[in-house]
């Protein structure tokens, strides 16, 4: 495997700082092209959907159908551009000759065509749009050179690969966890507290739990990496501080994505449970003037805002409990930690060969 193939392998596995510093700017525009395609598609879709206004008084479809359509439109805003970005990355990997034309084309579409078209249809000033897009493109190039994109994409792929392990552990952890969470969910006092929370305050509570989770996960990962460094598979030059940080970050981020997926599952479960269990009379008596419903693209969804806030709060509590519980479970180590450690050993072997060749 040549140097370029090795460098691509290291980036693909979330280890951009294992690549020699002089090689980090190699094919920089081509490596940024998938994000430029994502940004272009996101800009177009979001601008179109923001212009959508659903009027239930004149609409012929039912409110539920309109709510589902609005939800699908919102989901399509990040999902479709992400799929286009992934497709672009695969094309660039499989066809070396297409790298420069695709990269230049994506940059031209994003910097020139996108502002001009939006200016023609009256969505914004072309010069202002060009300046904004140019700033985004420069930031994307800088972050690609820093390896942030490689870190995020690897961690997300690792979390999705381990989704089966998450399901297995969730089925073990949820029954006991739900006993506590469901009892708390049916407590009026909790609803009174969460319904009075503003969105910034609720985000602050969620950030507090995120910090607690990192304070718990980081020492565990340090212990795992210390044990890994003592094995025969890790022959080669000692890791630099930046390389050790890179290896630790990808492992912590992979677990963070899994915990986030678990929190989303718990939140969705609680919203469905609340919709089925609580009548309008009960919620009105509990919430008083805080009983408004969630609105999406002008459509009133059959979910109370207070219900969503309570579900988010309890999902944060549940995710921290889940992280603490499964990090010490032998089954979780076999299904999550061991595959990560196997990949880390392989990465260290590739790094040793890469350094020896250079």
Pair 192, 252 in one domain:
yes
Which residues constitute the domain of residue 282? 154-357
The domain boundary, picked from 146, 171, 189, lies at: 146
Give the residue from 124, 146, 168 where a domain finishes.
Answer: 146
Do 224 and 319 belong together in one domain?
yes
Q: Are both 141 and 159 inside the same structural domain? A: no
Q: Is residue 270 part of a domain?
A: yes
Domain-located, residue 13: no
What is the Cα–Cα distance from 137 to 111, expressed in whole angstroms?
Answer: 8
Give the bridge partners for 102, in sequence order.
Answer: none
pTM above 0.85, yes or no: no
Residue 303 is assigned to a structural domain of this protein: yes
**305 and 160 inside one domain:** yes
159 and 307 belong to one structural domain = yes
**One domain, residues 117 and 165:** no
Inside any domain, residue 353: yes
Find the angle CA(254)-CA(255)-CA(258) to the nearest 5 degrees: 95
Query: Which H or E run includes 88?
Result: helix 63-94
Q: How far apart are CA 250 and CA 257, in angstroms?
A: 11
Residue 229 within any structural domain of the chain = yes
pLDDT at 206: 92
Shared domain check, 286 and 141: no
- Picking from 256, 237, 243, the residue whose alpha carbon sits closest to that of residue 320 is 256
Whole-angstrom distance, CA of residue 24 vs CA of residue 111:
24
How much is the pLDDT for 58?
47
Q: How many CB atoms lie within 10 A of CB 249?
A: 19
189 plus 330 within the same structural domain: yes
E strands in the chain = 293-296, 299-304
**Per-residue confidence (pLDDT) for residue 57, from 0 to 100:** 47
pLDDT given for residue 1 in this prediction:
58
CA atoms within 13 A on the CB side of 201: 8
CA dihedral 285, 286, 290, 293 (to 10 degrees): -80
Query: What six digits make up the tokens of 54?
Result: 């659903």
| Whether residue 138 is found in the same domain as residue 160 | no
Select from 118, 146, 174 the last residue of a domain: 146
Vertex 150 angle, CA 105 and 108, to 5°: 10
Question: Does residue 104 sit within a domain?
Answer: yes
Residues 43 and 110 in one domain: yes
In a domain, 5, yes or no: no
**Is the same domain home to 116 and 186?**
no
Contact assessment for residue 257 and residue 159, using Cβ atoms and an 8 Å cutoff: yes
Instruction: Provide the domain count of the chain.
Output: 2
* 293-297 contacts, C-beta under 8 A, 24 or more apart: 296/67, 296/70, 296/71, 296/74, 297/49, 297/52, 297/53, 297/54, 297/70, 297/73, 297/74
Return the pLDDT at 47: 75
Tens-binned pLDDT, residue by residue, of the chain (358 aa): 567 788 888 888 888 888 888 888 888 888 899 899 998 888 887 776 665 544 444 445 555 565 566 667 667 777 888 888 888 888 887 787 778 888 899 899 898 888 888 777 767 788 888 888 899 999 999 988 888 888 877 877 776 676 666 666 666 666 666 677 778 888 888 888 888 888 899 999 999 999 998 888 888 778 777 766 555 555 667 788 888 888 888 888 878 887 888 888 888 888 888 888 888 888 888 877 666 777 765 566 678 888 889 999 999 988 888 787 767 767 666 666 777 778 788 888 888 888 877 6
**56, 136: one domain:** yes
Q: Are 317 and 202 spatial neighbours (Cβ–Cβ below 8 Å)? A: no
Nearest alpha carbon to residue 258 among 340, 158, 343: 158
- Other CB atoms closer than 10 Å to residue 83's CB: what's the count? 13
Burial class (CB in 10 A: 0-12, 13-18, 19+), 46: middle
In whole angstroms, give the CA distance from residue 80 to residue 2. 34
């Amino acid at each position: 495997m040549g140097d370029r193939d090795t460098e691509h392998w290291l980036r693909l596995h979330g280890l951009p700082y294992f690549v020699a510093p002089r090689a980090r700017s190699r094919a920089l525009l081509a490596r940024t092209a998938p994000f430029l395609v994502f940004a272009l598609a996101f800009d177009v879709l979001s601008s179109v959907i923001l212009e959508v206004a659903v009027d239930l008084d004149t609409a012929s479809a039912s409110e539920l159908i309109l709510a589902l359509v609005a939800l699908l439109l919102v989901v399509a805003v990040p999902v479709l551009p992400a799929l286009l970005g992934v497709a672009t990355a695969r094309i660039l990997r499989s066809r070396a000759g297409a790298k420069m034309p695709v990269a230049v084309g994506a940059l031209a579409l994003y910097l020139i065509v996108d502002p001009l078209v939006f200016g023609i249809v009256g969505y914004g000033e072309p010069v202002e749009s060009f300046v904004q897009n140019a700033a985004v493109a420069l930031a994307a190039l800088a972050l690609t050179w820093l390896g942030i994109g490689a870190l995020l994409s690897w961690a997300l792929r690792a979390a999705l690969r381990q989704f089966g392990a998450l399901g297995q552990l969730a089925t073990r952890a949820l029954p006991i966890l739900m006993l506590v969470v469901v009892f708390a969910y049916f407590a009026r006092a909790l609803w009174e507290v969460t319904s009075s929370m503003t969105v910034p305050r609720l985000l602050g509570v969620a950030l507090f739990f995120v910090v607690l989770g990192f304070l718990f996960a980081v020492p565990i990962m340090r212990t795992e990496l210390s044990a890994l460094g003592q094995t025969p598979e890790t022959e080669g030059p000692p890791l630099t501080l930046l390389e050790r940080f890179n290896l630790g970050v990808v492992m912590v981020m992979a677990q963070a994505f899994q915990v986030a997926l678990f929190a989303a599952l718990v939140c969705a479960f609680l919203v469905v449970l609340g919709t089925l269990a609580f009548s309008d009379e009960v919620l009105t008596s509990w919430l008083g003037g805080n009983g408004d419903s969630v609105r999406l693209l002008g459509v009133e969804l059959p979910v109370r805002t207070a219900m969503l806030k309570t579900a988010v709060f309890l999902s944060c509590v549940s995710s921290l409990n889940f992280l603490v519980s499964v990090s010490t479970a032998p089954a979780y180590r076999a299904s999550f930690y061991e595959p990560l450690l196997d990949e880390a050993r392989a990465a260290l072997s590739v790094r040793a060969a890469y350094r020896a060749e250079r």
